[in-house]
Structure 1
Amino acid sequence: MPRTIAGLLVLAAAPFLLAAVLPPGQAGFWTANILGRAVVFGIIALSLTFLATYGGFVSLAQMTMAGVAGYAVAILVDGAVPRIAGGFSYAAAVPIGLLAATLAGLVVGAIAVRTRDIYLLMITLAVAMGIFRFVETNLAWFNGYEGIRNVVGPTLLGRSFRDPWVFYYVALGVAALLYLGILYLVRSPFGLVLQGIRDNPRRVATLGYSVGLHRIAAFGVAGFVAGCGGVLATIYNIGISPGSIGLGATVNVLIMSVIGGLGHPIGAFLGSLIFTVFDTFAASIYDRERFNTLIGLVFLAIVLVSPDGVIGIAGRLRGVLGLRPRPAGLPRPGGQPQEERS
């Protein structure tokens, strides 16, 4: 916990540090387009990391759940273009969007509850692509491939949500609450049962727990987390379109999670930051048109050096420097516990 608090303080101070060393325009650019975007998509990646680390299953429907929340807000909120339902304030539309994302997570969990490994991966991908195609071709509710624009966000204490500092600190506050909430949840009775199901579902079932209901509930939690990121991403992009939940966006979330490391929730934000930096400066580093090649090479380099991602590299460095080792029993990617099973 002290390390978590220290990390949050560093992130909270980051805009001030950038403003002190960079020109005003560049400081605002880094705050909004690097740090802010990394936090937002880190939240969506956090939902996937939660399922993979503590549930033992990798879902490719997390960007879809984020899109459900984003589209719900865009459809309902007043001022969006085109006006579809309209008339709702952000204070009303955002909770409805989060509820929709949570329900979407529960539905996906119910569909995939009896599958694992590659079968769960393919079922969640099929659900994601089915929803993507439906949204892309529906004009009445989703405005087809053009999507919905002008979702600018609310005004907070007289300041526009478009202000880079306002957006960044709101996103950081939401990310901190979700991150701490996940850490608390996995130590609660529900989280401990979920990890038991990950390791040995039959043994947990013999103790009287419902394996299926716990898995569905985990997808519901992940849907809520992804929905928070989806709402922020929609406001950040000033709208939402089918491309936001397409195959490319879906795979990007998986890449972020794997790069950061599936061994701990913090890996989602580390991976998102690395991905965002390369995405932003791809034109300077290599070639904007070949970004997928660049991030693919980065992905391969990190995974080959450390299958546990950046977290694994950090753990090895701690071992080399003689610092405290990684706690025993911390799950590896794919939900495998570190100690030997009996």
Structure 2
Amino acid sequence: MIIMSTRRWALTAIGLVILLALPLLLPNFWLVNIFGRALVYGIVALSLTFLAHYGGFVSLAQTMVAGVAGYSVAMMAPTAIPLGDMALPYALAIPLAVFAATMAGAIVGLIAVNTREIYLLMITLALAVGFSLFAQSNITWFNGYEGIRNIVGPEIFGRPFRTPLVFYYTALVVAALLYLLVLYVVRTPFGLVLQAIRDSDRRTAAIGFHVGLHRIAAFALAGFIAGWGGVLITFYNIGITPSSIGLWATVGVLIMAVIGGLGHPLGAFIGALIFALMDTFASTIIGHDRFNTLIGMVFLVIVLLSPDGIWGVGGRLAAALGGRNRNKNADGGATR
């Protein structure tokens, strides 16, 4: 077990080094529109994976929670068009937006705390669609269908946020920190109780833990994660509109998480990268109108052949290769 853990951390470190070196190897288009995009959308998918894998409940409201952060930072952005009455420096707008997303996640958890399976899916989907429609109809705060534009982000070390290197490394640092946060939380007493609730909420309640409170806290933490993704997505898109948090965006995040694999937090980023590649190149080859059909077929194939996604496929291949190497070593030892 210790060897496997060490191996995983070593692979994680190697992957991080490769990601840090990508700006030296790739043009800006790949850096921003493929890997940078995968990182920021992967953060939102990470919040869904956290709830699904460690809490046992799949929430379709994570795009809505990210949208709360996106609209919050847009309403407070000093560069926004139209400029709101609550304009603040980005240094204040960003943490307030993440806080708003955390509270939104807690509210979603409070509403859905007693629901399970299909009922949880329907309630969270209704919340997501309802918020998108509300944003589309509200002119005073959200500027209706047009949304809020020119959200360019802050300057970092004197360089504009939209500079490819600044955007990519900022997204990478935030994604890595949130990924490590999830790995840390699931090993704390709170994370262990959350996993116990996933396995049997009645048994967990019987030994004295407050099941509902832990679930609401899990939704709040997922809201915190999704909030950072929502802020970065708003900077990436240079604004936010109701369509960017609508039904297709909600389904897209679910597809990313499922394709990558709900069995490990890293699956969220793998799925987001695959989705970004397909959306960028496949839609230009087969046409954007047929892209939904293609991504739907890929989704079905993954669900049918590998319910635990690409991460599960990689895990099974690693286990098979490891077993083969052990057999070879055993045969060699027997021969000697």
Rounded to whole Å, the distance in 2 between the matches of 1:285 and 1:14 is: 26
Give the aligned residue type for 2:24. F
1:297 alignment partner in structure 2: 297
Q: How does 1:25-44 map to 2 (within 5 A)?
A: 27-44=27-44
Deviation at 1:45, TM superposition (A): 0.1
The TM-score with structure 1 as length reference comes to 0.91
1:226 aligns with 2:226: yes
1:215 alignment partner in structure 2: 215
Rounded to whole Å, the distance in 2 between the matches of 1:161 and 1:289 is: 32
Deviation at 1:305, TM superposition (A): 2.1
Give the aligned residue type for 1:15. P
1:161 aligns with 2:161: yes
2:111 alignment partner in structure 1: 111
1:13 aligns with 2:11: no
The answer to whether the Cα contact below 8 Å between 1:80 and 1:86 also exists between their aligned partners in 2 is no
The secondary structure found in structure 2 opposite 1:281 is helix
Q: How does 1:1-342 map to 2 (within 5 A)?
A: 1-18=9-26, 27-322=27-322
Deviation at 1:253, TM superposition (A): 0.3
The secondary structure found in structure 1 opposite 2:81 is coil
Q: Which structure 1 segments of 5+ residues have no match?
A: 19-26, 326-342
Give the aligned residue type for 1:141. W
Deviation at 1:261, TM superposition (A): 0.4
Rounded to whole Å, the distance in 2 between the matches of 1:126 and 1:96 is: 25
CA-atom RMSD in angstroms? 1.3
Give the aligned residue type for 1:238. I
Give the aligned residue type for 2:18. V
The answer to whether the Cα contact below 8 Å between 1:79 and 1:86 also exists between their aligned partners in 2 is no
Rounded to whole Å, the distance in 1 between the matches of 2:257 and 2:324 is: 24
* CA deviation map 1:176-222 (0-9, x unaligned): 00000000000000000000000011111111110000000000000
Give the aligned residue type for 2:186. V
* CA deviation map 1:154-176 (0-9, x unaligned): 11111111111110000000000
More helix by share: 2
The TM-score with structure 2 as length reference comes to 0.92
**Which stretch has the larger CA shift, 189-198 or 77-86?**
77-86
The secondary structure found in structure 1 opposite 2:152 is coil
Rounded to whole Å, the distance in 2 between the matches of 1:79 and 1:308 is: 42
The secondary structure found in structure 1 opposite 2:322 is coil
The answer to whether the Cα contact below 8 Å between 2:197 and 2:204 also exists between their aligned partners in 1 is yes
Deviation at 1:322, TM superposition (A): 2.4
The answer to whether the Cα contact below 8 Å between 1:318 and 1:324 also exists between their aligned partners in 2 is no
Deviation at 1:85, TM superposition (A): 2.2
Rounded to whole Å, the distance in 2 between the matches of 1:50 and 1:320 is: 27
* CA deviation map 1:53-102 (0-9, x unaligned): 00000000000000000100000111200012243000000011000000
The answer to whether the Cα contact below 8 Å between 2:69 and 2:97 also exists between their aligned partners in 1 is yes
Rounded to whole Å, the distance in 1 between the matches of 2:242 and 2:108 is: 19
Rounded to whole Å, the distance in 2 between the matches of 1:115 and 1:310 is: 29
Rounded to whole Å, the distance in 1 between the matches of 2:195 and 2:309 is: 21
* CA deviation map 1:212-270 (0-9, x unaligned): 00000000000000000000000000000001110000000000000000000000000
Aligned length: 317
1:330 alignment partner in structure 2: none
**Which stretch has the larger CA shift, 309-318 or 294-303?**
294-303
The answer to whether the Cα contact below 8 Å between 1:171 and 1:232 also exists between their aligned partners in 2 is yes
The answer to whether the Cα contact below 8 Å between 2:79 and 2:150 also exists between their aligned partners in 1 is yes
Rounded to whole Å, the distance in 2 between the matches of 1:228 and 1:313 is: 29
**Which stretch has the larger CA shift, 197-206 or 284-293?**
284-293
Q: Which structure 2 segments of 5+ residues have no match?
A: 1-8, 326-336
